[in-house]
Structure 1
Amino acid sequence: MITMRTPVLLAAGALLLQVSHACRATEEYSFEATSFSTAAASSGDAEPLRLLKTSDDDSGTWVTEEEKIHEYMLKHVHFMDVTETQELEELGASRHAALAKRQSPYPAPSRQSIANPIIARLVQNNVQSTITGLSNIYNRYYRGSYAATSASYVLNAVRSAASSNPAITVRQFTHSFNQPSVIATIPGTSPRRVIVTAHYDSINSASVTGRAPGADDNASGVASILEALRALAAARYAPGNTLEFHFYGGEEGGLLGARDVFNRYAADNVDVLAVLNQDMTGYSTNNVIAVYTDYVDAGLTTYMRRLVPVYTTLGLVTDRCGYGCSDHAAARAAGYPASYVCADTMSDSSPYIHTANDTPRGSFYAHALQHSRLTVGFLVEGSFW
């Protein structure tokens, strides 16, 4: 999650422009970076620059990777790295206009008889195993020594979760950095897609090369949607609309993975009905589920508020990030209906994120499993839209 526990949110309110081989197919999507403009190349043979934006109105600033780390990431400045996805907002403009004119609300939740038997297949120990397994990697910084290690871990975990249903495909989506995103697809009778997302990279905000177990941020979110995938695969669930599970790299570097993926989807006119992003699903002192209401689609967010009490046993609260604090901002930039669900409010979120102390805690597992329940309910309901 791109969030900092400081007294004042810098650039608050600004929109960030932002292991089994039983699967039938494993393919790799390559990402071709947009050529840098002349402004993006510094004199001589210095490294290429990165284009960062901190608000909707910001025209952007070209910086080196080192400046990005030390002047933005480590100084708790909220930013979006748009270097390779400068056209994303333009690609999403027509969809934004269509969403603004949309009149039909999402239907009332009505598929409990189908979803509940799948929910009964969810196993808390699997959630615990994923959280501890990812946390055991020294760090999952997207440009660090363990980027490829974390990518391999996630790819193998997704393949394993999907392995009981050979209709499910698992593919990597490569980026300009060495931490590809992973996408699992349960094909439906319709090509329209309902998507759940979580990022798997982690960071230590004191030193990007330091220990960063990232148990809550965001091994917990990965565990929540991964267990939902495993249960749906085990049930051989055959949806109407196609269901996708996105595990992004590079979120802490400016929503890099999610922006790459949604830039491709927007350019290819992929029909996405809804996106549910989950970032930090473990730590909740209030034992609630928080639905966030800014930088999201209003209609889908209202629907998520209706869904929480149907498919979970937790209380519902709402909150605002004040900025595009996670990967839902990338989906929204592409013009797709996006929502964001977290384990708690901003003020009551974990004080340990982005530090070496974001380690697994016993209370995480049951709470993250509630998010798995919500994920299954959302996907089953969405498969009928």
Structure 2
Amino acid sequence: MRSTTLLVSLISTAWLAAAVPAAGKSSGLRLIKTSPSDPGKWVSDEDKISKYVAKNIGFVDITDITDPEVLKILSTPDSDKSIAARAITYPTSVSHTAVANPLIAQVSTTNPQSWLTTLTNFYNRYYKSTYGTQAATWLYSTVQSVASANPAITVSQFTHSAFNQPSIIAKIPGNTTNIIIVSAHFDSTGGSSTARGPGADDNGSGTVVILEALRVLANAKFKGKDSIEFHFYAGEEGGLLGSAAVFANYKAAGKSVYAVMNQDMAGYSPSGKISIYTDYVDSSLTAYARVIATAYTGATTSDACGYGCSDHASARSNGFPAAYVCDEKMATSTPYIHTPQDAYSTIQWPTVLRHSKYTVAFIVEASFL
């Protein structure tokens, strides 16, 4: 999902969250925010998709979020830099090309083409549909198969209480407890809960990019200084549901996340450049993401995508440094997202290849922070 100030007080937002059990869950409605100043509005699951996602209006579903710190960040304008992620100093240049380049040479589009064919053949991957659950089952099995090249890699499902589609996490353990995360959501929508939604670019493309990076690193038995996780999120189109639950869990567990690099749409780029978005992200990590992209793929572009744009927002609101990398600027991005026309035939495979190579480079560089 991508979208095209008055600060709500923490007390007001916390009150809204507290009112959920009586006003929301009993009636089947969900509480969403469309901006930092939006106090929240109650909508149905269907309305979330047909009235917001289909119209490219970004939002965050805050129904199940009760952490006051997270609610505060979600209610703070992006221009207010008083709320920052963990203070981490990132390099200003790359230093592991001798390791990264041989791995990048192993990247191809052969497997991504096969994987994306399967993903887009599901009628849709809507997170509350049987198709969405079936897609998750297939993806979990595929991640396990890809990861099996390295017995050290663990693959798990992260279950969600409000819907059956699980998120999926693969982990390459490192020598520290610090974690580097690359992520993408795999659910899709065609504009309603029942519409055909192949979701080729949004976000089958990001899913196969992360999978291809996992394949290359698993085959090479790669191990960084820090642990590396590959996240495949459920329920993004429903308001960042899967990632919100994952990062709330990580925050509660006190996990040390050094970087989250999210990719949502990685298969359609008339410019031929990786686009690095600059709003609702950690500015230092974003600068580092650009350093890596420039060194390994060439020139980049920049843009802003708005509130609740994608899963990096969940990492940020839970206090973890996050960046968002996409295939194109908003104005020239694919016109097909959130419709039945977001089909396999619209994918530009040099774009997928570029993002896959970038992902491998990012993992190698960042996992030695």
TM score, norm. by length of structure 1? 0.85
Change (3 A) 1:103 1:69: closer
Kept after mapping to 2: 8 A contact 1:220/1:364:
no
The share of aligned pairs that are identical, in percent, is 48
1:224 and 1:187 map into 2 onto residues whose CA distance is: 20
Paired residue type of 1:41: A
**Is structure 2 residue 292 aligned with structure 1 residue 307?**
yes
Match of 1:343? 327
Distance apart, 1:54 and its partner CA? 1.6
Paired residue type of 2:29: L
**Is structure 2 residue 327 aligned with structure 1 residue 354?**
no
**Is structure 2 residue 37 aligned with structure 1 residue 57?**
yes
Paired residue type of 1:183: I
Change (3 A) 1:84 1:121: same
Match of 1:2? 2
Match of 2:309? 325
Change (3 A) 1:249 1:379: same
Distance apart, 1:75 and its partner CA? 5.2
Paired residue type of 1:212: G
Match of 2:260? 275
Aligned length: 354
- 1:57-76 CA deviation, whole Å, 9 max, x = no partner? 33323334344445544555
1:186 to 154, 157, 172: 172
1:329 and 1:189 map into 2 onto residues whose CA distance is: 28
1:92 and 1:59 map into 2 onto residues whose CA distance is: 11
- Please tell me the root mean square deviation across aligned C-alpha atoms, in Å: 2.6
Paired residue type of 1:116: N
Match of 2:349? 365
Distance apart, 1:119 and its partner CA? 1.2
Paired residue type of 1:247: F
1:179-218 map, 5 Å? 179-205=165-191, 207-218=192-203
Distance apart, 1:98 and its partner CA? 8.5
1:141 to 104, 126, 144: 126
Change (3 A) 1:360 1:143: same
Distance apart, 1:123 and its partner CA? 2.2
Q: Which one has the bigger helix percentage?
A: 2
Match of 2:76? none
- 1:204-259 CA deviation, whole Å, 9 max, x = no partner? 12x32111100000000001111000000000012110000000010000000010
1:167 and 1:194 map into 2 onto residues whose CA distance is: 16
Match of 1:238? 223
TM score, norm. by length of structure 2? 0.88
**Is structure 2 residue 148 aligned with structure 1 residue 167?**
no
- 1:122-170 CA deviation, whole Å, 9 max, x = no partner? 1211111122110111100011231211111110111111110000000
- Between 69-78 and 233-242, report the one with greater CA deviation: 69-78
**Is structure 2 residue 355 aligned with structure 1 residue 374?**
no
Kept after mapping to 1: 8 A contact 2:185/2:206:
yes
Match of 1:109? 94
1:1-150 map, 5 Å? 1-3=1-3, 9=4, 37=18, 39-42=20-23, 47-74=27-54, 76-87=56-67, 89-90=69-70, 99=84, 102=87, 104-150=89-135
Match of 1:284? 269
Q: 3-state SS of the aligned residue for 1:277? A: strand
Match of 1:27? none
Distance apart, 1:105 and its partner CA? 3.8
Q: 3-state SS of the aligned residue for 2:329? A: coil
1:282 and 1:203 map into 2 onto residues whose CA distance is: 17
Change (3 A) 1:39 1:111: closer
